[in-house]
Amino acid sequence: MPFGENIKSHFAVAVDEKTEAAEIKMYGNVIKKRPVDWWTDKPVEGDFIIGSEVIKKLEEIGNCKKLNIRLNSLGGDVHEAILIHNRLREMAKNGTKITCSVDGVAMSAGSMIMCAADKVTVTSSSLVMIHKSLTLLYGWYNEDQLKTVVEENKQYDKAIAAAYRRKTGKSEKELLDMMSAETYMTGEEAVEKGFADELLESESNLSIAACADRTALKVNGEYFSLMGLKCPDNIPLAIEPEQKEGKGVAIDNKSENNKEVKFVAKDLKELRAENPELAKAVEDEIKNACLQQGKSAAEEAVQKASKEAVEAERKRLAEIDEIAPLYNAELVKEAKFGDNPCTAAELAYRAAKDDVQKGANYFEKMQQDTVASNVGKVNSAALPDDAAPAAKTEEQNMQDARDTVNALLGSEVKND
């Protein structure tokens, strides 16, 4: 059966005003906003555990005395899971008794929402999974940027472990080791390890199985994508194999139209050989789901990169403007908008380099002018000994003075 027809999720709230109790049903992947179809760009049909919608509903029932969460989620966006977890803990602090009933699975981000409850109930066929946070990288990154991503993931892991530590009482190190190992727990194991508080008897056991390539789970007949993860080998395949001549022969199953269908393939490779049409339908649905997830992640990555690029460009121009008065206008213009734009530091370097070159050109030109003038070939000459003026007598000096005065006054001055 094609996965797309079964990838559904539910989110609903019921309130009993008399008992001041509320029940919120959270089925499906935890996401930030409703996904859109890759081809039509229209919102995907169905309900999802959307962070903003959950918070809005919690605000509406904020005064309830009891809250029961019915959970069935493979996880999703850790940011939204942290948001929902923290708001539930705030309600608990304000007096709301919170119980979480794991109707199906509580995996990844879903397990973090589960651990916000004061009491968690599971059945023997419930499934809980914890793992370290994942980051989808899109683009080119250097060593420092990758180290930043690693550090961010470490901090997210610590935040997730803190939620688990409050619920289980285990140490951070033990929880991080479990997360690193991508630990799956049955209902009994979840109770043993402190993630759940009570194991309930169930009239009908929950049916959980893996698809052929283990990238999706079938929970009570509905398929849920694991978004890149793979479930462990101890979870049975959706088609139970029996060994016969080296091939997996499955039990009979009834389809929706009540016709008997017998599967014989034990993996996707054999399914291609046994039923090419069904294999192609399965592969197409997986590809479409991956494309949808990839598109959303890519769009967010592009938006983030665009915002960072705009901020970096504004900062670059502002830093250049701060030192622009010190430099040539053309040099500043080239640094800001030319074919080779640069930072303020690079502008300062270019200006200094330009000044050095100008100084070198100036001294070289002076040297060339000096050589061209032949001044180096002109020898200095001393005055001859007889060219030195003889010292005048006092009488001669007085006469020189009279001559100067007579010339100025136009009359003769005598010395009587």
Domain match, 166 and 295 both? no
CATH number at residue 11: 3.90.226.10
* Rounded distance between C-alpha atoms, residue 6 and residue 255, angstroms: 13
Residue with tokens 């919608």, as numbered in its chain? 53
Same domain, 43 and 187: yes
Q: Are residues 307 and 201 in the same domain?
A: no
Q: How many residues does the chain have?
A: 416
For residues 107 and 127, the answer to whether their CB atoms sit within 8 Å is: yes
The pair of three-digit structure tokens given for residue 302, joined into one six-digit string: 């592009």
CA dihedral sign of residues 126, 132, 133, 138: negative
Name the DSSP letter for residue 399: H
Which stretch of DSSP H or E encloses residue 313?
helix 276-323
Query: Of 184, 205, 226, which marks where a domain is finished?
Result: 205
Asked if residue 231 lies in contact with residue 217, where contact means CB atoms within 8 angstroms, the answer is yes
User: In this structure, is residue 273 part of a structural domain?
Assistant: no
70 pLDDT tier (thresholds 50, 70, 90): very high
Q: What is the pTM of this model?
A: 0.50
Q: Give the three-class secondary structure for 73.
A: strand
Domain range spanning residue 80?
3-205
- Over residues 13-20, mean pLDDT: 69
Residue 93, C-beta contacts closer than 8 angstroms, at least 6 positions apart: none
> Within the chain, what is the greatest distance between any pair of CA atoms?
159
DSSP label at 253?
E
Q: Please check whether residues 180 and 307 belong to one and the same domain.
A: no
Residues 160 and 302 reside in one and the same domain: no
Which has the higher per-residue pLDDT, 281 or 220?
281
**Residue 12 C-alpha from the chain's centroid:** 30
Whether residue 24 is predicted with pLDDT greater than 50 in this model: the reply is yes
Stretch 162-183: mean pLDDT? 95
Give yes or no: residues 20 and 131 share one domain: yes
Residues 300 and 171 in one domain: no
Asked if pLDDT for residue 415 goes beyond 70, the answer is no
Q: What is the per-residue DSSP string for 64-130? A: -SEEEEEEEE--B-HHHHHHHHHHHHHHHHTT-EEEEEEEEEEETHHHHHHTTSSEEEEETT-EEEE
- Bridge partner list, 128: 106, 185
Q: Is 378 within a domain? A: no
Maximum mean pLDDT: which of 324-333, 377-386, 394-403: 324-333
Let me know whether 199 and 293 are in one domain: no
- Residue at 254 is within a domain: no
Q: Are residues 51 and 180 in the same domain?
A: yes
Nearest of 54, 57, 91, 68 to residue 19 by alpha carbon? 68
Domain end among 205, 235, 269: 205
In a domain, 384, yes or no: no
Cα–Cα distance for residue pair 145/147, rounded to 1 Å: 5
> Is residue 286 very low, low, confident or very high in pLDDT (cuts 50, 70, 90)?
confident
Domain membership flag for residue 245:
no
Question: Is the pLDDT higher at 142 or at 226?
Answer: 142
Is there a domain that residue 249 lies in?
no
**pLDDT exceeds 50 at position 250:** no
Q: What is the pLDDT averaged over residues 171-186?
A: 94
Reported as a pLDDT band with limits 50, 70 and 90, residue 39 is: confident
**47-64 average pLDDT score:** 86
**Rounded to the nearest 5°, which phi and psi values hold at 336?**
-85, -45
Segment (H or E) for 224: strand 222-225
**pLDDT for 197:** 95
Query: Got the DSSP string for 4-51?
Result: GGT---EEEEEEETTTTEEEEEEES-EESS--B-TTT--BPSS--EEH
CA distance 50 to 54: 6
Average pLDDT of every residue of the chain: 77
Reported as a pLDDT band with limits 50, 70 and 90, residue 47 is low
Predicted confidence (pLDDT) per residue in 117-162, tens digit: 999 999 988 999 999 999 888 889 899 999 999 999 999 999 999 9
What are the tens digits of pLDDT across the range 331-387?
888 888 888 888 988 888 888 877 777 766 666 677 776 666 666 666 655 556 555
The highest-confidence range among 52-56, 284-288, 349-353, by mean pLDDT, is: 52-56
> What number is the average pLDDT over the span 183-194?
94
255-283 in b/e form (b: 16+ CB < 10 A) is eeeeeeeebbbbebebbbeebeebbebbe
- Same domain assignment for residues 55 and 155: yes
Count of structural domains, the chain: 2
Q: How confident is the model at residue 388 (pLDDT cuts 50, 70, 90)?
A: low
Residues 167 and 303 in one domain: no
- The pLDDT of 41-59, averaged and rounded, is 84
pLDDT of residue 393: 80
Domain assignment present for 405: no
Q: Does a structural domain hold residue 243?
A: no
CB 164 within 8 A of CB 195: yes
Q: Among 189, 205, 221, give the residue marking a domain's end.
A: 205
